[in-house]
Amino acid sequence: MTGRPSEELIDCVVIGAGPAGLSAARALTSRGRSVVVLDKGRGPGGRLSSRRTGETRFDHGCKELTFQEPETSADLQEWLEADVVAPWCPTLEGGSTAGPYHVGTPAMNQVIKHLARDLEVRFNARVVELRSGEAGWKIIQQQGEVELICRSVIVAIPAPQAVDLLTPIGFEGLDRVKNVSFTGIWSLLIDGPHPDEVGFEAVVEPCPELAWLAAQAGKPGRASDGAWVALASHAWSTEHLEDDKNSVAAALGPICSNILGIEHAATTIAHRWRFGLTSTPLGAPTLVDRETGVAVAGDWCLGPTIEDALQSGRAAAHEIDGLLST
Ligand SMILES: Cc1cc2nc3c(=O)[nH]c(=O)nc-3n(C[C@H](O)[C@H](O)[C@H](O)COP(=O)(O)OP(=O)(O)OC[C@H]3O[C@@H](n4cnc5c(N)ncnc54)[C@H](O)[C@@H]3O)c2cc1C
């Protein structure tokens, strides 16, 4: 974080340091714009977070980086060259292999760290209000007294959370943002056996309750331990979205233990991704309110993947750069 005078007029404040917000910030910075990115998280991650319990690390959100054409994606190729991403071909039950999947290394959030390099990104900065002022937008953070003044804003957070910021300012296109929907996803962090003992590294849709169960140890650059992450199926997650974490762990833990051939996992922790995967996208890469200089970005503009987020961020940056030039 640089020491910036509080009265300095910034070209654009980006809210959300996920792939959408960071790709927007990179695009604007490369065009010579001054940009500050604010994120409510304690560190880089968002839906690409990794979580530590003791010495064990779990990628408990985004499970792989999905690109329609991985071989020709400039983003993916650049990440592979920079060693922040590596291919992963887990052994499935029965001995066949799946993938290649692409994962951040040594953890999923390495992609976010890489996208954030050389940018001014402030964490622990939850934005609660956009306030119109004489000089531009005042960005009000939860701590109240923290303000930034800027000419434009890109709101790059999940649509339902964006609605909270956009409603009070009468954002043009608000109704379209309100129509976007997400599927919540439960994930389960399990401290169990090493995959060598189990004989496989991942299972895909093993039962109606689960969409995925994978060992962390087989992924490139990970510690060789017994950490596993399960993702509940869309149907199960939707039905149990409001359940508490303990009852979700109690319901899914034994199912996972059974698949792993153990009686009881040492640790099972449930994590709810309330806005996990886009189910109804906006249908456009971005929306811009030209009167106010506020744009939206996020995977949800186009679909459920990281590639959608990157494209949306760049589209928002392009629009805002055009506005700043007029
Ligand atoms: C369980 C799960 C599995 C997934 N599997 C895949 C997969 O296989 N392949 C794939 O490509 N994608 C997958 N994804 C989706 C992928 O993670 C998203 O597409 C991608 O992270 C979207 O990027 P984004 O920048 O739009 O949003 P996010 O990554 O959600 O970033 C938004 C950021 O905004 C911040 N924020 C929110 N509100 C505020 C606020 N008020 N003030 C400041 N900051 C705020 C958050 O902390 C977050 O860092 C998965 C996601 C989950 C949860």
For the chain, the domain total comes to 2
239 domain residue, yes or no: yes
Same-domain pairing of 207 and 321: no
Find the 142 Cα to ligand 1 centroid distance in Å. 20
84 domain residue, yes or no: yes
- At 220, list the tokens: 């490139």
Same-domain pairing of 121 and 239: no
In one letter, which amino acid is 317? A
Best CA proximity match to 190, nearest among 231, 233, 227:
227
Task: Output the pTM of the full model.
Answer: 0.96
58 domain residue, yes or no: no
User: Is the minimum distance from the CB of 161 to ligand 1 under 6 angstroms?
Assistant: yes
Same-domain pairing of 189 and 155: no
- pLDDT score of 2: 47
Find the 258 Cα to ligand 1 centroid distance in Å. 30
In one letter, which amino acid is 289? D
102 domain residue, yes or no: yes
What contacts 24+ positions apart, CB below 8 Å, involve 98-101?
Answer: 98/202, 98/204, 100/70, 101/63, 101/64, 101/65
Same-domain pairing of 188 and 262: yes
2 domain residue, yes or no: no
User: Is the minimum distance from the CB of 293 to ligand 1 under 6 angstroms?
Assistant: no
Between CA 115 and CA 123, with CA 118 as vertex, the angle to 5 degrees is: 70
- pLDDT score of 1: 43
Same-domain pairing of 118 and 211: no
Find the 275 Cα to ligand 1 centroid distance in Å. 8
Transcribe 227-289 into DSSP letters.
Answer: EEEEEE-HHHHHHTTTS-HHHHHHHHHHHHHHHHT-S--SEEEEEEEEEEEEEE--SSS-EEE
User: Is the minimum distance from the CB of 47 to ligand 1 under 6 angstroms?
Assistant: yes
Regions of the chain where pLDDT drops below 70: 1-6, 144-145
Same-domain pairing of 198 and 252: yes
State the chain's mean pLDDT as an integer.
94
Report the alpha-carbon distance of residue 202 to residue 210 in Å, rounded: 12
pLDDT tens digits, one per residue of 102-111: 999 999 999 9
Name the residue of 157, 169, 296, 307 to mutate for ligand 1: max ligand atoms within 8 A of Cβ.
157
State the residue range of the domain holding 162: 9-45+113-180+284-325
Best CA proximity match to 177, nearest among 288, 293, 324, 265:
288
SS3 81: helix
56 domain residue, yes or no: no
Name the residue of 40, 47, 164 to mutate for ligand 1: max ligand atoms within 8 A of Cβ.
47
- Quick check: 197 and 315 in contact, CB under 8 A? no
